[in-house]
A and B are shown apart, each in its own frame.
Chain A
Amino acid sequence: MYKLSGVTKQYSRGKDTVHALRGIDLVIEDGDQLVIQGPTGGGKSTLLQMLGGLDRPTAGSVELDGVDIARLSETKLTKVRAENIGIIFQSFNLIPTLTAQENVETALVPLGLKVSERRSRAAEALESVALAERLHHLPGELSGGQQQRVAIARALVKKPKVLLADEPTGALDEGTRDDILALLDGLWQEYGLTFIMVTHDSHIAKRAPRVATIKKGQITVSDRTTATK
């Protein structure tokens, strides 16, 4: 369970200070799905970084299962990222020189598994995203949708508690987008993940059970399930 209180993030460059997040309070239950939307520059990605432990807030706390990850030591935070958080990006962020299987393996490297176990788990994960046949292909040899599937496999291979996605379909065409969304939906349910997805796409937001909107660093959550009830 995530519990954010008063999360503020400021970026200062010289004299200028950008207030990316201004006091965010938010609770996300385990197994929930939250879609974060809002205008560009609103602070969506920044919030996702706070949730993923990729960056620390200027003020406020980010509790994950009762632990304030904003105040963890770098070593412990790295461990949290390695074990509990899966993340996918708009531009896939695969390592171009590594094959699909090796890319998925990179997520298991910090866990210190045996090479053989790492390999087989990576192969399984790729199978679950329907890429069993493309284990040894380099990212450059795969389509955008396939690359994002590899990235999804990489995010989920460690069986994380949380899956974070920053505009996972932003670089894909509509058909592929729907495939990926369907895949993510399926995996969310299958793994019982806490799934948080940032998107520009109002089409996606409309289908989501719970939507948060961030504008100028401030959040409003509309809980469709409770609202429509």
Chain B
Amino acid sequence: MFFTYLRRELRRRKKAAIVISMGLALGIALVITVNSVSAGMSQAQGKVLQSLYGLGTDMTVSKAAAAASSTSGQPRFNFGARDDSKNQSSDRVMVQGFETLKSSVVTQVADQTGVKKAVGGLSLSVIKVSGTFDRGTFKQNQSAGGKPGGGGSGAPQGQVQGGGADFSINSFSVYGTDVANLDLGPLTSSKITSGKGFTSADTNAKVVVLDKSYAKTKKLTVGDSVTISGTKFKVIGIATADSGDSAANAYIPLQRAQTLADSKDKVTTVYVQAADSKKISAVKTAIQKNISGTTVTTSADLADTVSGSLSTASNLATSVGKWLSIAVLIAAFLVAALLTSSAVNRRVREFGTLKALGWKSGRVTRQVMGEAFVNGLLGGALGIALGLAAAYTVTAISPTLTASLGSTAGAGAGPGAGGGGRFGGAGGPGQQAASKALKIALEAPVSVNTIVLAVALAVAGGLIAGTFGGWRASRLRPADALRRVE
């Protein structure tokens, strides 16, 4: 009788049932959408961080920023001025951020309690300047060698008259990878899609793995070779970054990188994996305290520096989206409760009659609760369908968001533009990599938790409505069977 009666009543009050269910559905759909978009946002942020850090890295250790360093580290180029306008080329290999730590710090970090693993790496910037340089039109100061590039603070050392210099600047980033510990560090966020990756035998090999997009613009493939500062490296593999944005343009064995940059036993960054991901901040404190002169950056620190449309959207989703869905849910609960109790008001005589027939109050209440509960479930099912549809739509469209990571490396001057000469630059020079702007496609993954939450909300909505109506029904008396209503 319970189910027959329930079914019939729901069919009879189809409109109210639809309104109640739709209201709940809307609220629940919003909850699912907001939740999954938020999850997508943090996933996107995770990708941004991952592209810098690689998989499994909980924090990085770098040298604490020193007071504005001297200009000594800035690149200089020496070109011999010639009469024959011959093409000249020169590479400058710089350590990114100009700050390094001793390799011994890596073991020191690894020895800290709570550290599972620590791997060092050396980030380099290579600037290749090549072009022609015509003496005839260049009036230099007494000395034989002109110095067109002088560094930010340096004044031009000569004057170009009539413009005989024509050269291009090409800069790219190189990351020295610890080939003995390949499971941590930036390269882990890329997959080798062509050729092969490093092996522990490559400790000092003249081999390079190129980032796919860099290889593409330079038209390089596996088997080709790349010359960096006079050393010829063989391309053994092409790596594709999971997030579409790689940490470096080229990866070479750490020892080779140290040799190139003249930074023996030096690293720029130590990638740290904590033993317990819940104790990251404790580990951070320990490292900073026990190893002087280091700065520890956790993913959380880095996430705070994420700006751009990603963080705007993420804030929007967590604030506006959350409140909107809460407001809609409350409204839906209220509507459901009001409609349910007004339905009870219209059935005063019906319920009175049932009580007069000897139905226990509880049975009548259960009937009303049951109806409201089913409305809640219908709303929940509809809401989950709507929410899933919305989440899948977001994923299908996958709107592109940009994320800028605040510069964490020390500021350094880029190569100065010397007097005269035409610079045909390809790729921005210097510290560019320290502040990254990434494009991330937004997805809205729906987690099981979200679905469970939605179901719980639907049930709660039904129960709240049912409680209102059931309470009204429980207070009806059998004498209400004689009430003249309708």
Chain A residues within 8 Å of B, Cβ to Cβ? 45, 49, 52-55, 74-75, 78-79, 81-83, 85, 87, 89, 91, 93, 95-98, 102, 105-107, 109-111, 154, 158, 166
Contacts and interface: CB of A to CB of B under 8 A. Distances in A.
Contacts of A111: 358
B350 A55 contact: no
Contacts of A105: 1
B5 A97 contact: yes
A154 B358 contact: no
B1 A106 contact: yes
Given A95-B350, A96-B12, A97-B8, A106 B482 contact: no
B422 interface: no
A78 B477 contact: no
B11 interface: yes
Given A52-B356, A154-B357, A109 B482 contact: no
B481 A110 contact: no
Nearest to A45: B482
Contacts of B357: 81-82, 87, 106-107, 109-110, 154
A89 B359 contact: no
B482 A89 contact: yes
Contacts of A96: 12
Contacts of A91: 349
A11 to B, nearest CB: 11
B27 interface: no
Interface in B1-40: 1, 4-5, 8-9, 11-12
Given A97-B9, A97-B11, A106 B354 contact: yes
A53 B481 CA distance: 12
Interface of B: 1, 4-5, 8-9, 11-12, 349-350, 353-361, 363, 477-479, 481-482
B358 A83 contact: yes
Nearest to B1: A109
Contacts of A95: 5, 350, 353-354
14 contacts: A53-B478, A54-B356, A54-B482, A78-B358, A87-B357, A89-B481, A93-B481, A96-B12, A97-B8, A98-B4, A106-B354, A109-B1, A110-B357, A110-B360
Contact of B356 (A74, A75, A81, A102): A81
Nearest to A79: B358
A87 B357 CA distance: 8
Contacts of B4: 98, 102
A78 B358 CA distance: 5
Closest 8 CB pairs of A and B: A82-B358, A97-B8, A54-B478, A110-B358, A81-B358, A55-B479, A93-B353, A54-B479
Given A93-B350, A110-B358, A81 B478 contact: yes
A53 B356 CA distance: 8
B2 to A, nearest CB: 9
Nearest to A77: B478
Contacts of A78: 355, 358-361
A95 B357 CA distance: 12
Contacts of B349: 91, 93
A58 B359 CA distance: 24
B125 to A, nearest CB: 79
Contacts of B477: 54-55
B11 to A, nearest CB: 7
Nearest to A115: B1
Q: Of B360, B477, B482, which is in contact with the most chain A CB atoms at under 10 Å from its CB?
A: B482
B9 to A, nearest CB: 6
A140 to B, nearest CB: 11
B353 A109 contact: no
Contacts of A79: 358
Contacts of B355: 54, 78, 81
Given A95-B5, A97-B9, A109 B363 contact: yes
Contacts of A109: 1, 357, 359, 363
A52 B478 CA distance: 10
B478 A98 contact: no
B356 A87 contact: yes
A49 B359 contact: no
Contacts of B350: 93, 95
Contact of B12 (A97, A102, A154): A97
Contacts of A154: 357
Contacts of B360: 75, 78, 110
A49 B1 contact: no
Given A83-B358, A107-B358, A154-B357, A49 B8 contact: no
Nearest to B484: A91
B18 to A, nearest CB: 17
A89 B353 contact: yes
B177 to A, nearest CB: 74
B374 to A, nearest CB: 14
Given A78-B359, A82-B357, A105-B1, 12 more contacts: A78-B358, A87-B481, A89-B482, A95-B5, A96-B12, A97-B8, A102-B4, A106-B1, A106-B359, A107-B358, A110-B359, A154-B357
Contacts of B353: 89, 93, 95
A91 B4 CA distance: 23
Nearest to B7: A97
